[in-house]
Chain A
Amino acid sequence: MSGPSTYVPKSALGRWFESRLPIGGLIHSSFVVYPTPKNLNYFWAFGGILSLMLVAQIITGVVLAMHYTPEATMAFSSVENIMRNVNYGWLLRYLHANGASMFFFAVYVHIFRGMFYGSYKAPREVLWILGVIIFLLMMATAFMGYVLPWGQMSFWGATVITNLFSALPGIGEPIVTWLWGGYSVDNPTLNRFFALHYLLPFMIVGVVILHVWALHVTGQNNPAGVEVKSVERDTVPFTPYATIKDAFAMVVFLILYSWFVFYVPNYLGDADNYIVANPLVTPAHIVPEWYFLPFYAILRSIPSKLGGVIAMFGSIAILAFLPWLDTSKIRSGRFRPLFQIFFFGFVIAAMGLGYLGSKPPEGAYVIAGRLLSVYYFAYFLVILPLLGLFETPRTLPATIADDVLAKGGSAILAGAAQAPSTKG
Chain B
Amino acid sequence: MAEPTRRDFLYIATGAAAVVGVGSVAWPLVSQMNPDASTLALASTEVDVSSIAEDSILTVKWRGKPVFVRHRTAKEIQEAQSVATASLIDPQSDQDRVKQSTLAGKARPEWLVVIGVCTHLGCVPLGHQGDYDGWFCPCHGSQYDPSGRVRRGPAPKNLEVPTYAFTADTKLTIG
User: Are A and B associated in one complex?
Assistant: yes
Interface residues, chain A, CB within 8 Å of chain B? Answer: 156, 159-160, 162-164, 166, 177-186, 188, 192, 279-286, 300, 303-306, 308, 360-362
- The CA-CA distance from A178 to B30 in the complex, in Å, is 9
The answer to whether A183 and B34 touch across the interface, beta carbons within 8 angstroms, is no
Q: A181-B35, A282-B139 are in contact. Are A160 and B121 (CB under 8 A)?
A: yes
Across the interface, name the chain B residue whose C-beta is closest to A286. B139
Per the bound structure, the CA–CA distance linking A304 and B30 in Å amounts to: 30
Q: Once the chains bind, are A282 and B124 in contact (CB under 8 Å)?
A: yes
Within the complex, what minimum Cβ distance (angstroms) separates A263 from chain B?
32
A164: which B residues are within 8 A, CB to CB? 121
Q: What is the CA–CA distance of A211 and B158 in the complex, to the nearest angstrom?
A: 47
A282 and B35: CB pair below 8 A?
no
B34: chain A residues within 8 A (beta carbon): 177-178, 181
Please judge, given known A-B contacts A184-B65, A279-B61, whether A284 and B121 are in contact too, CB under 8 Å.
no
B121 touches A184 (CB 8 A): no
Of B16-24, B71-79, B97-105, B149-157, the one contacting chain A is B149-157
CA distance in complex: A362, B123 (Å)? 17
Interface string of B22-62 (1 = CB under 8 A from A): 00000000100111100100000000000000000001010
Are B122 and A159 closer than 8 Å at their CB atoms? yes
A156 touches which one: B33, B36, B120, B123 (CB < 8 A)? B123
Which of A166, A183, A283, A300 has a CB less than 8 Å from the CB of B140? A300
Report the bound CA distance from A308 to B141 in whole Å: 14
B91 at the interface (CB under 8 A from A): no
Inter-chain CA distance A208–B117, complex, in Å, is 40
CB pair B140–A361 under 8 Å, yes or no, is yes
Chain A CB within 8 A of B15 CB: no
A183 in contact with B64 (CB, 8 Å): yes
Q: Across the interface, which residues of B come within 8 angstroms of A179, CB to CB?
A: 33
Q: Can you name 17 A-B pairs with beta carbons within 8 Å?
A: A156-B139, A160-B121, A160-B122, A163-B121, A163-B122, A166-B121, A177-B35, A180-B35, A184-B117, A188-B35, A188-B36, A188-B39, A279-B65, A280-B66, A286-B139, A305-B121, A305-B153
- The 3 A-B residue pairs with the shortest CB-CB distance, nearest first, are A184-B64, A163-B122, A183-B63
In the complex the two chains form, what is the Cα distance from A360 to B65 in whole Å?
25
Question: Closest Cβ of chain A: how far from B134's Cβ, in Å?
Answer: 16
Q: Mark B102-123, 1 if CB is under 8 A from A, else 0.
A: 0000000000000011001111
Since A166-B122, A185-B64 are in contact, a sample of 11 more A-B pairs with Cβ atoms closer than 8 Å, ordered by chain A residue number, is A162-B122, A163-B122, A182-B63, A188-B35, A192-B33, A279-B64, A279-B65, A282-B124, A300-B140, A303-B153, A303-B154
User: Which residue of A177, A178, A282, A361 has the most chain B CB atoms within 10 A of its CB atom?
Assistant: A282
With the chains together, A164 CA to B121 CA distance in Å? 6
Q: What are the residues of chain A within 8 A of B125 when measuring CB–CB?
A: 282
For residue A304, which residues in chain B have a CB less than 8 angstroms away from its CB?
153-154, 156
B64 to chain A, nearest CB (A): 4
Residues of A within 8 A of B39 (CB): 181-183, 186, 188
Q: Which residues of B contact A (CB under 8 A)?
A: 30, 33-36, 39, 59, 61, 63-66, 116-117, 120-126, 137-141, 153-156
Consensus secondary structure, chain B interface: loop
In the complex where A160-B122, A282-B123, A361-B141 touch, is A186 in contact with B33 (Cβ < 8 A)? no
Within 8 Å by CB of A186, from B30, B64, B155, lies B64
Question: How many Å from the CB of A82 to the closest CB on chain B?
Answer: 27
Residues of B contacting A192 in the complex (Cβ-Cβ under 8 angstroms): 33
CA distance A286 to B123 in the complex (A): 9
- Complex interface: chain B residues within 8 A of A308 (CB): 154
Nearest CB of chain A from residue B135's CB, rounded to whole Å? 11
| Cross-chain contact B35 with A182 (CB below 8 angstroms) | yes
Contact call A178/B33, Cβ cutoff below 8 A: yes
Residues in chain B near residue A305, CB distance under 8 A: 120-121, 153-156
Q: Which residues of B contact A163 (CB under 8 A)?
A: 120-122
Cβ-closest chain B residue relative to A158:
B122
**Cross-interface CB contact of B138 among A185, A279, A285, cutoff 8 Å:** A285
Chain B residues with CB below 8 A from A160, complex form: 121-123, 139
Query: How far, in whole Å, are A3 and B36 apart by their CA atoms in the complex?
Result: 56
Which residues on the B side are within 8 Å of A285 (C-beta)? 138
A180, B64: Cα distance in complex, Å: 11
Indicate whether A279 sits within 8 Å of B140 (C-beta atoms), given known contacts A160-B123, A177-B35: no
Check A181–B59 contact: CB distance below 8 A: no
Bound-complex Cα distance A304 to B154 (A): 6
Task: List the A side residues contacting B117 at CB < 8 Å.
Answer: 184
